Each structure stands twice: as C-alpha cells, then as structure tokens.
Chains A and B, each alone.
Chain A
Amino acid sequence: MSTIPDDLSYTKEHEWVAGLEDGRTVTVGITAYAAEQLGDVVYVEVHSEVGTTVAAGDAIGEVESTKSVSDIFAPVGGEIVEVNAAVADTPALVNSDPYGEGWLFRVRVEEEPEDLLSAAEYTALTSGES
C-alpha cells in the first residue's frame, strides 16, 4: 500500500498538487502509487521552461523508468515558476521521496480545473486499478 497524504489534491494521471487552498502557487509531483508502478525512475524532464504559461492538461514533460516512459501533465493552468533541478540530477528522488524532495515543478495558478480529486477519491481510483 502506498501512502496518499490527506492534505493534497490529485489527478487521474497520478499527480499530486500541494498548496491549492493557501495561495496562488502550487507544487506538483507524481504520487507514490505512480512511482511504484513506474519502478526506478532514471530520467525526468520538464520541457516547459520557467516563465512559460501552460494550460491544465498540457503534456509538459516526461518521466522515464527502466521499463516505461510517461508524460508529465500540468494539473492546473498558469505560469511555470520553478522546476526542480535536484530531480533532474537525481531522478531517484521521485521514488525515494515522491511527496517531498521528489517534487517536479511549481505553477502560479491561473486556471484550476474542477476535476481534481480529493485524497479519498484518489484512494478509490488507485485501489480500483491495483
């Protein structure tokens, strides 16, 4: 069983979003469930540079593991304000600390989609898949 923190929002693409309730900038990463499914992450790239504006649902990067590659999506619309350089250097952080040091990027929110999931909803989603 992977952990699913109560205080985050989630997407169907297995990303988490932190900080939605307290402000204009959110942090985004992939969930522990997704990291476990991927296996060892060997390469992370966010193609969209800091300062670019993305729409919710845009594919803005990719995560490669030994066995597969997955797109990284923008869960909200807005300006990319920071990309985690530590993860680019040490992709294994996504496995070892997916909700902490393994965060991927930060967005100044301009558009918040209505279909973000609560922790309970995301738990239901992943228990149906596994």
Chain B
Amino acid sequence: MSRSTPLRGVHESLGATLTDFAGWQMPLRYGSESAEHNAVRTAAGLFDLSHMGEIFVVGAQAGEALDHALVGHLSVLAPGRARYTMIVNETGGILDDLIVYRLDEDQYMVVANASNYALVARELADRVRGYDARVTDRSDEYALVAVQGPRSAEILAPLTDAGLDELKYYAILPAVVAGAPVLIARTGYTGEDGFELFVLNEHAVPLWNALTEAGRDAGLVPAGLSARDTLRLEAGMPLYGNELSAAITPFEAGLGRVVRFDKPGDFVGKAALERVAANDTPRRLVGLVARGRRVPRHGYPVTRDGAVVGEVTSGAPSQSLGRPIAMAYVDEDALEKGGLTVDIRGSQEPVDVVDLPFYRRSK
C-alpha cells in the first residue's frame, strides 16, 4: 500500500511522473529532470518532501536525552539552530542520518528519512527512557515543502514578515507564510541556498500554490526526486540506503566529525565507535569522475587490474560537470595505488578519484 502526500493531486495536475519511494507515491519528475536540476542551480526549484519524518522530543531534559540517543552534542545547540547528526546502533552502524532542530529551550524536532522514521521514533522513545523527555512522531501531521536555489530568498520574502536575512544557514524560525503557520528552516539537500518549510498537512496545497505564484517570474519550477538525487550527489551529500546503512559507521562514510566523543556522558554506540575511530578504516567513501560517457551506477564494482576494490553507491550524469560522477566505497590501498576503473556491464571504464563535493556553489 503506497502512501500519498497532501500534494499528490497537485503533482498529478502538473503531469508529474510518480514513483514509489520508501512506500510513498512521490513525483520523480514533472518534465525534463535535467531542466529541473538546472533551474535549482540557476534560479529555484520547489520540492514536495512530505514523506520525511518529523519527530518531536519535548521536555526539560530533551537535550540531554538526545545527547544520549544520538552521536551529536544537541544539548549545547542554541534555540533556533539546527545540526546534521546520526543515530547509530550499539555496534556503531548508521540507523539514519538526521537534522535536529532546536525549536525552543525544551523542544527539539528530529527530521528523519522516509524509510527510517518509524524506526527512529521507536528507538528515540526507547533511548530517552529515564530522562524528562517525551517523544512524539508527528510525521503524519506535517507536510514539508522546500524552495531551493539562488533565488529562493527573493521568492519567499514577499510571502512572509519573517526576517529571512537574519535566518542563517542551519537555523529555523516559526513564522507565517502566505497565511499559514510554518517552521522556516534554512536547510536543504541540493548544495544551494534554500528553505525547508514545515507545515501542517491542511496548509500544504495553499502554501505550494502561493510559492508557485511568487516564484513564477524568478524561474521557480517544481522539481522531482530525480533532480533532487542528482543535486545532492553533485553536492557530495550521502543518501541513506546508498552511502549510509546499518553496515557502515560514520567514520567509513567520511562523517566522523559528527561523532562527538567530547560530550558528557555515554551515548548509544560510543564504545563501538571509539574502537572504529582508533583504527584506520579499510575502505573509504570517495568521489569518482568517469573519463568516458558511460555512467557508473549504484552497485557497480570498482576495479583495479581486474580485481574488485570497491563498490559504487550512487552515480549519475552530472549536469554541472558535464561528465558522469559517482560516490563509491573503495579500499584504502587501492586508492593509494590509483588507476581505478569501474566495471560498467563488463567493460572496465577508467575513473578519476576526486575530493567531495563535486559541486560547490559560488557565494
């Protein structure tokens, strides 16, 4: 049984190609996904991300409870600010990557991936036991609409009295947008400036329509999951299920910085992650750029002299680079030796290892 967001009718009226994503019927693209990708890089795109999960953690010890439940140091987060973090299991494997917003002194919102939020809500409820903190999964009540791209601020500004200029990257504030109460966050998954608007389901359609109208002259277009995937890949951002899984620790994923051993007290997975951190990881997440035009895709083997030395986790043709790009886990010793290839359906295609991200916006 596939679930629908409050915006499904809007997507259908726009002629979107819908796809199943983590059990949700989501817009894959409305027309050309390359055009949607380019609109986000040069103007702005409008996304329905209502499949994401919103889990509220509320109480006098909500911050301490999250310090115990997650790898980050959330109790020191200032109200109105956000942090990228992870929830891991006892062996340090990643259960999900999260953005945690501190809405108030005693109120946090944990935003989890569609495929994981039910598990995350259960784990959080379990892990906060003993703290003065209460976990409520409000994913079913909230829609999420994102405006992403260099012209996002000028599109959003006329619809709200909120001071967008003062709203920093990775910050959030409650406001009224087009008449609806909204949590405006300056976060995203595209590598561009932009906003994520958390809104109750009943306001989602009017909010989408108001943004569409406000963005018409600025070149705002609706953008689907296909463009979202190529945008995040260019920006070097991991996707749970591709780069991240319960078999991967934050250190292998190149995201060891999110693990805060220096925070007070114990946290779930700490002992295991300390062991991981003390040793060199045998493989590492890297960026690959293909020399040819064939695309290394999810699951393809990375090879060297005919031997498998890694695996591609995500790959796509890159609009911004004009060549195929990929992320892959590759053995350290093979990275040192160089001369890597990807086995693209039986032929060994040369690739170059590059630093992530592939694309960085000009400020």
CB contact list, B286-337 vs A, under 8 A: 293-295, 297, 316-317
Q: Which residues of A contact B345 (CB under 8 A)?
A: 62, 69
Q: Which residues of B contact A5 (CB under 8 A)?
A: none
Residue B75, interface by CB 8 Å: no
Whether the pair A40, B34 counts as a contact (CB closer than 8 A) is yes
Q: Which residues of A contact B17 (CB under 8 A)?
A: 36, 39
Q: How many residues of B contact A (CB 8 A)?
A: 16
Whether the pair B317, A69 counts as a contact (CB closer than 8 A) is no
Given A36-B17, A40-B33, A40-B34, is A66 in contact with B230 using a C-beta cutoff of 8 Å?
A: yes
Q: Which residues of B contact A69 (CB under 8 A)?
A: 295, 297, 345
Whether the pair A43, B316 counts as a contact (CB closer than 8 A) is no
Given A39-B226, A42-B317, A43-B317, is A64 in contact with B34 using a C-beta cutoff of 8 Å?
A: no
Residue B32, interface by CB 8 Å: yes
Q: Which residues of A contact B316 (CB under 8 A)?
A: 66-67
Find B226's partner among A42, A62, A67 (CB 8 Å cutoff): A67
Q: Which residues of A contact B34 (CB under 8 A)?
A: 40, 42, 66
Task: State how many angstroms separate the Cβ of A47 from the closest Cβ of chain B.
Answer: 10
Assembled-state Cα–Cα distance A95/B345 (Å): 24
Residue B186, interface by CB 8 Å: no
Task: State how many angstroms separate the Cβ of A98 from the closest Cβ of chain B.
Answer: 14
Q: Which residues of A contact B230 (CB under 8 A)?
A: 66
Max count, chain A CB within 10 A of own CB: residue among B34, B229, B294, B297: B34
Q: Which residues of A contact B51 (CB under 8 A)?
A: none
Not counting A40-B32, A64-B317, a sample of 20 additional A-B residue pairs whose C-beta atoms are within 8 angstroms of each other reads A36-B17, A39-B29, A39-B33, A39-B226, A40-B33, A42-B293, A42-B295, A42-B317, A43-B293, A43-B294, A45-B294, A64-B293, A64-B295, A66-B34, A66-B226, A66-B230, A66-B317, A67-B316, A69-B295, A69-B297
Interface residues of A (CB under 8 A from B): 36, 39-40, 42-43, 45, 62, 64, 66-67, 69, 95
